[in-house]
Amino acid sequence: MALSLVFPNRDELGKAKQLLNRLCYEYHEVNSLAHLDEAAVPFLVVRENGSEAVHTLLQAKVALSGRVEYRPPLEDVDQGLPCPPEGQEDIVGRVVVMSLTPCAADPEKIRLIAHISGDLSKVMPYLNAVRRGSYNPNANTFSYIDAGRMISLFQSKIAAAKAHEVLDGYATLWRIKCWINAVWARRESIELSYESRKAINVLEIFKRLPGTNCRKCGELTCMAFAALTLQGKHGIAECRPVFENGEYPQLLPPLQQIADGYGL
């Protein structure tokens, strides 16, 4: 099985390449996103004997952030722009990917954990004011959904689950960093919110849908549509009777509110 191997920094990447070259493993190097500072360490794809190569690297005490089955990147991986713009404070700071594993609930997707040099506890009440999510001021955690990916922010850590592959995971981290910095830059115009909210669940989406199981979204039931929307397979706007046909005008505002607030 071909594996993507991710490293926390360029030193460990260099050690891994030296060892793999010496032992004649075939691999290729994939450049990460240009703007993702420390997290932009290139990763290696070992096409054959990936598990054996990992074992060899670990025995030689090369630090690996993680390994997942290789999948080619989606064509539309967003390469991002420099962030924050020059002169603007970087509240997130350095982003270093420390863990990469398949998602427990969906092994086709991956989960990344990145350590950051900044302190996100200061920005969380602002994030909570502008985006629906689950905020716990006592534990300093804020979770939300970004285009079907589950994001959890901690004081000095970011976890992103349900990314499609490694580059998509990096692009997700980059998008998170840019969004946090953009909110921080306009904090003076935002009213702080310490309100603690629960994350949205399937039932909350389902009870706002028409409930007719008409299948126009491609799913057999509204419940299946709600569950798969939460997993990122659909956008809420794919419920055509509400969003295209105007058959349920009373359902449009509550569904739109969820779509905007939770990024679904």
**Closer residue to ligand SF4 (CB): 10 or 215:** 215
90: helix, coil or strand?
A: coil
Amino acid, res. 8 = P
Q: Residue 84: phi, psi to the nearest 5?
A: -75, 165
If one counts every other C-beta atom within 10 angstroms of the C-beta of residue 263, the result is 18
Report if residue 17 touches ligand SF4, rule: CB under 6 A. Answer: no
Eight-class DSSP state of 172: H
Q: Least distance in Å: CB of 203 to ligand SF4?
A: 14
**Closer residue to ligand SF4 (CB): 137 or 235:** 235
**Closer residue to ligand SF4 (CB): 95 or 145:** 145
Tokens of 250: 């009373």
Q: Least distance in Å: CB of 132 to ligand SF4?
A: 20
**Closer residue to ligand SF4 (CB): 12 or 219:** 219
Contact map string, positions 198 to 217, toward ligand SF4, x by CB under 6 A: -----------xx-xxxxxx
230-239 CB contacts, 8 Å cutoff, 24+ apart: 230/145, 230/200, 230/201, 230/202, 230/205, 230/264, 231/106, 231/148, 231/162, 232/145, 232/147, 232/148, 232/149, 232/162, 233/148, 235/259, 235/264, 236/205, 236/264, 239/209, 239/210
Contact at 8 Å (CB) between 8 and 63? yes
Q: Least distance in Å: CB of 229 to ligand SF4?
A: 8
Span 215-244, contacts to ligand SF4 by CB under 6 A: 215-217, 219, 222, 225, 239-241
Q: How far is CA 92 from CA 20, 32, 106, 180, 197, in A?
A: 34, 19, 28, 7, 23
Q: Least distance in Å: CB of 249 to ligand SF4?
A: 14
Contact map string, positions 163 to 202, toward ligand SF4, x by CB under 6 A: ----------------------------------------
Q: How many residues in the shown chain lie near ligand SF4 by CB under 6 A?
A: 14
Q: Which residues bind ligand SF4 (CB under 6 A)?
A: 209-210, 212-217, 219, 222, 225, 239-241
